[in-house]
Structure 1
Amino acid sequence: MTATQLDPGLLDPPRWAVRAAHAAALVILPSGIWRLLLAAGFTAGYTQAGYEAMGFTGWGAVYVVGLSVAGELLALLTLGLVRPWGEVLPRWIPLLGGRRPNPRTVTVAAGLGAGALTLILTQFAFWWAFPHPNMTPLGNTVAGFLYLPLVAWGPLLAAVTIAYHRRRRVAGA
Structure 2
Amino acid sequence: MKVLPDVPRWARLAAAGAALTNVPSALWRVAIAVGVPVGLAQSEYDQMGAPGLGSLALVALSLVSEAFAFLTLGLVRSWGERWPRWVPCLRGRPVPVLLGTGVAGLGALATSVFGALFVLTSLNADIEATTWGIWLLNIAYAPLLLWGPLLGAVTVHYYRRRTRSWSAPARLP
The CA RMSD over aligned residues, in Å, is 2.0
Residue number among 64, 67, 71 corresponding to 2:61 in the alignment = 67
Moved more, 47-56 or 64-73: 47-56
Moved more, 47-56 or 122-131: 122-131
State the identity as a percent.
43
Moved more, 22-31 or 36-45: 36-45
Give the structure 2 partner of residue 136 of structure 1.
130
Residue number among 20, 30, 33 corresponding to 2:27 in the alignment = 33
Greater relative contact order: 1 or 2 (C-alpha under 8 angstroms, separation 6 or more)? 1
Tell me if structure 2 keeps the 8 A contact 1:116–1:154. yes
Tell me if structure 2 keeps the 8 A contact 1:132–1:140. no
Tell me if structure 2 keeps the 8 A contact 1:51–1:134. no
Residue number among 25, 38, 42 corresponding to 2:36 in the alignment = 42
- In structure 2, what is the Cα distance between the partners aligned to 1:128 and 1:115? 20
- Provide the TM-score with structure 2 as the length reference: 0.86
Moved more, 154-163 or 42-51: 42-51
Moved more, 83-92 or 71-80: 83-92
Cα distance per residue 1:84-142 (max 9 Å; x no partner): 11111211123322221101111111111111111112134446622433222210111
Listed as ranges, the gaps of 5+ residues in structure 2 are 167-173
Q: Helix, strand or coil for the counterpart of 1:77?
A: helix
Give the structure 2 partner of residue 3 of structure 1.
none
- In structure 1, what is the Cα distance between the partners aligned to 2:126 and 2:36? 18
Give the structure 1 partner of residue 81 of structure 2.
87
- Provide the TM-score with structure 1 as the length reference: 0.86
Q: Assess, with a 3 A threshold, how the Cα gap between structure 1 residues 58 and 128 changes in structure 2: closer, same or farther.
A: closer
Tell me if structure 1 keeps the 8 A contact 2:45–2:51. no
- In structure 1, what is the Cα distance between the partners aligned to 2:165 and 2:42? 57
Cα distance per residue 1:4-62 (max 9 Å; x no partner): xx9xxx86112111100000011110000011111111132211232122212332111
- The structure 1 segments of at least 4 consecutive aligned residues displaced by more than 4 Å after TM superposition are none
For the pair 1:106 / 2:100, whether they are aligned, the reply is yes
